[in-house]
Each structure stands twice: as C-alpha cells, then as structure tokens.
Amino acid sequence: MLSIYSDEYFMKQAMAEAEKAAEAEEIPIGAVIVCQNRIIARAFNQTEKLHDVTAHAEIIAITAASEYLGNKYLKDCTLYVTLEPCLMCAGALNWSQISKIVYGASDEKKGFMRYGKELLHPKTKLEFGIFHEECSEMVRNFFEKKRKKNTAY
C-alpha cells in the first residue's frame, strides 16, 4: 500500500505524467517537483509538440517550480522523474541547486551518471531505482511500437 508523502507515491505521480507523454506520442518521461510534501510542478516531455529539443520533462518542471516559488533556486525541493536525467537536465538541476533527485530507470546511453554525480550540485542527494522495471518498460514499449510502426511502411 502506498502511503502519502513517500517516494513511491510521488514516483507514481511522475509515472502518470509519463503516461500523458506516451498518449501524446512523446517519449514517455514524466516528472514532478515536490516541496514540503506538496507537488508544486508536474511535467512530461513535449519536444515533439513544442518542436523544442530542450522541452524535457525535467526542464519544464524546473521552470514551473521556479515560477511557483518565485525563486530560481529549488533548495528545499525534490525532483521525481521516471528516467535518469540527461546531461542538459543535470546541468539545469545543478544550477537550480535542487536538494534531491529521485529517478526510476537508468539511461545507459544518455544519462548523466555516465559522467558521474559530480555534474549535480554538491548538496544534491540522489536516489534511483524506485519502480525501475515499470519506468524502464514504459520507455522500452514506446520505442518498440515506434520501430514496428516505422518498419510497417
């Protein structure tokens, strides 16, 4: 049973955002930012819709959280994201000075951990693997469907 205010609860919320991305034929990555046990930002990938390579779930969530707080720093916030952030997103998270990042699935090809945790702000805590299989499966299924669709022509 999920208890409110747990990492699992908030990751489920990020997974719901990833589902919205999948429905919009975007890579299914979702994110939520939490401050004082309250979701202050929700986002999903929108690179196709916005024709913007920077419209990753994390970037959109950072912008929304900063706007909500009226501050560019997210020092008392936690990001929950379904896939390990890329280098671009890790850089933005570093600049935001976010307190904690929790991600579900690893991204061995484009994830920032290929280069190390040092890309994040020194005070940022990192956790990963919550609903790892479920988050991995969402991305895997998306690309399998995309490959099938492309070979059907």
pLDDT at 2 > cutoff 80: no
| Nearest alpha-carbon partner for 22 in 132, 103, 139 | 139
This prediction has a pTM of 0.93
pLDDT at 4 > cutoff 70: yes
112 — pLDDT class (breaks 50, 70, 90): very high
HEC string for 89-109: HHHHHHHHCCCEEEEEECCCC
User: What is the 8-class DSSP label of residue 42?
Assistant: E
152 — pLDDT class (breaks 50, 70, 90): low
Identify the active-site residue in 58, 127, 134, 144: 58
pLDDT at 113 > cutoff 80: yes
Annotation marks residue 118 as catalytic: no
